[in-house]
Amino acid sequence: MPSSKTPKKTSTKKSSAKPLLISAGVALAAITLGLVSWQATAPAETASAGSGDGSGPGAVAAPRTDPAAELKALARRESGDKLAVGRADAPVVLIEYSDFKCGYCGKFARDTEPELVKKYVEDGTLRIEWRNFPIFGAESEAAAKAAWAAGQQDRFDAFHAAAYAAAYAGGSKEKGFAEPRLVELAREAGVPDLERFKADMAGEQAAAALKKDQEEGYRIGVTSTPSFLLNGKPIAGAQPLDTFTAAIARAKAEAAKQ
């Protein structure tokens, strides 16, 4: 069920590595504890027999689901997913919860993600599934819907790259994400039908898709962006490339054993 906590806004200002790592640790714990909390509040099950040892009628049974398995199962692996790149049957899936106004999300998008695509997506090892998780207000939500709308014309990844590059490089983030700017970004991303883009961006399907992503993030305890799940294991923050490459190698090796 969705968390009742208001998501914490991640600062878009540059900071030293130490605060980033501390923030990452906090977010990692939040994700893990969020899922545990969700499991703990699942409907209770009752046993049918026994007494005196906690197994009698009315006793609450221990949850039968595995939190790690629950997180891994969040990978949608839908072949027609417009907000994903990579093979649906790739052994490793990276789920990214991000906000277009998040500075650390932009850093990951510019510095790390292209390397992961080049090294792992193209050879079939990795699939990346994006989840829109806006936490910085109305413009963040508008940008998320615009990205979804671009995806309906198979331009999500191009819009994603253009939005982060334009919004955060060269001091141009003051341009923001008002509708004229979003249409401009769609044009830069090569969205062929801009009238359809505007209609899709304002439509009910965009709102529903955004709500689905947000509820998923809240349910597992995401409190900051970017947050990641790699084959169900949390990685928080715009960590260095080496952190992701090492995690992908481990996940691939584990998948090969199954």
| For the chain, the helix, strand and coil percentages under 3-state DSSP, each to the nearest 5 | 50, 10, 40
Helix, strand or coil, per DSSP, at residue 213 = helix
Taking only the tens place, the pLDDT of each residue in 73-101 is: 999 999 999 999 999 999 999 999 999 99
Higher pLDDT, 10 or 191: 191
Q: Look at the block and give the residue holding tokens 């014309």.
A: 153
User: What does pTM read for this prediction?
Assistant: 0.75
Q: What is the pLDDT of residues 113-142, one digit of tens each?
A: 999 999 999 999 999 999 999 999 999 999
Q: What is the dihedral of CA 133, 82, 256, 108, to 10 degrees?
A: -40
Beta-sheet strand order (sheet of 233-236)? 84-85, 126-132, 92-98, 227-230, 233-236
